[in-house]
Structure 1
């Protein structure tokens, strides 16, 4: 299994990563309606989604391998007067009790692993979720340009090592197709899988595709 590596946030344009993605507005309503309370923001980055969920009244924990990211979140939550438990840690060995969380939110984070690592991360996620608890996550798609055409080195048949200069340099990226997802999440009742093509981002043509997975622990 490849060693986990986080983003080097010091090298990033941080402004886009402090605004919550549109997915969380829907999820906050859905999870509130379901009576869910305890949320883990898995791979929290700078903490934009932890802050959002806490502002909506959820009991939020956050974990990321980047000490910079966790320190950023701690300072941000203090300024917002929010109580968020934020820890530095690795997704393959989560420091939480079994059956502890109602929901796990993992946005563009669990794909930062190789094939063996992905299965460990999902096993850990299953362990810490309550029965019937919900996961919402994303995975890189094998239909993306950077999997088949980028020329980046492959660690295994599913995993590319990013070689672009910037915050993700040398961060592994696992890529999936639908069959991979159904195998990886075999202990979850899958509610929805969306396959989205980001044709244009910031007025630039892209070939960047992701799966978004919503499911419940059996």
Structure 2
């Protein structure tokens, strides 16, 4: 499935860059570092950009009826492997978050952890609209992305748009600010429940550097 914003060639290049990343590094991200919300068993959940399955496994373990999608076939393969290793069942498929292959009002919750920060502005807008479409009334979107307060903001890569870099790997990285994120999701039709920054420090040599994410909760009213 190919969306219309960056063109077929550019989208294929971006997917190929992710496939290469996963093939060379395997499970790029491990464990589930985030505190997931309390949802009832059987809740219908969609994870956008499930990657190698680190969050998907925990979501399925909780008894949620979860579907994971990713544009990278290699990521989907790794997610399926992770689920099989834990003997946990969940649906995983290759799909485009800007043109979701699901009907309207299907999910109780949509998780978007570090997928919007790998897209250009028009794609981000399309993904927000699609997330709203597939959520049930009263459903919730849970968002995480890196903020402009992160140590990597502005560090290396070709600037494609404001706050968006294409690194040497070919992968896009966008860094958010709160007003931009509010405009993105409220502009798509969501009601904002919460936006906050979460930061921590990592050691680099003898010093330390700041990592920072922006976290949002938005509701379809």
| Alpha-carbon separation, structure 2, partners of 1:196 and 1:171 | 24
Deviation (angstroms), 1:68? 1.3
Partner in structure 2 of residue 215 of structure 1: 218
CA drift of 1:13 comes to 6.1
Q: Please, what TM-score do these two structures have when normalized by structure 1?
A: 0.85
Whole-angstrom distance in 1 between the partners of 2:65 and 2:208:
39
CA RMSD of aligned residues (A): 2.2
Structure 1 residue runs of 5 or longer lacking an equivalent are: 164-168
Taking the aligned partners of 1:201 and 1:40, their CA distance within structure 2 comes to 34
Please name the residue that 2:39 is paired with: 31
Cross-structure match for 2:34: 22
Distance in structure 2 (CA, Å) of the matches to 1:106 and 1:43 = 7
Q: Tell me if the contact between 1:115 and 1:174 (Cα under 8 Å) persists in the aligned partners.
A: no
Contact 1:144–1:208, Cα closer than 8 Å, also in 2: yes
- Following TM superposition, by how much is the alpha carbon of 1:81 offset from its aligned partner in structure 2, in angstroms? 3.2
Partner of 2:22 in structure 1?
Answer: 9
**For each residue in 1:79-98, what CA deviation from the matched residue of structure 2 results, as whole angstroms up to 9, or x when unmatched?**
43332111012211111111
Partner Cα separation in structure 1 for residue 98 and residue 190 of structure 2 = 18
Specify which structure has the bigger relative contact order, considering alpha-carbon pairs within 8 angstroms and separated by 6 or more residues. Answer: 1
Q: Pick closer, same or farther for the CA change 1:201–1:135 going to 2, 3 Å.
A: farther
Q: Displacement of 1:144 after TM fit?
A: 2.9
Any idea what the Cα deviations from partners look like across 1:32-53, whole Å, max 9, x if unmatched? 2xx7700111100111211111
Q: Aligned ranges for residues 27-106 of structure 1 at < 5 Å?
A: 27=37, 30-32=38-40, 37-106=43-112
The answer as to 2:190 corresponding to 1:194 is no
Which residue of the other structure, out of 132, 151, 155, is the alignment partner of 2:160? 155
- What CA deviation, in whole Å up to 9, does each residue of 1:150-178 have, x standing for no partner? 14211112311122xxxxx2111222211
Q: Which runs of 5+ in 2 are unaligned?
A: none
The reply to whether residue 124 of structure 1 matches residue 126 of structure 2 is: no
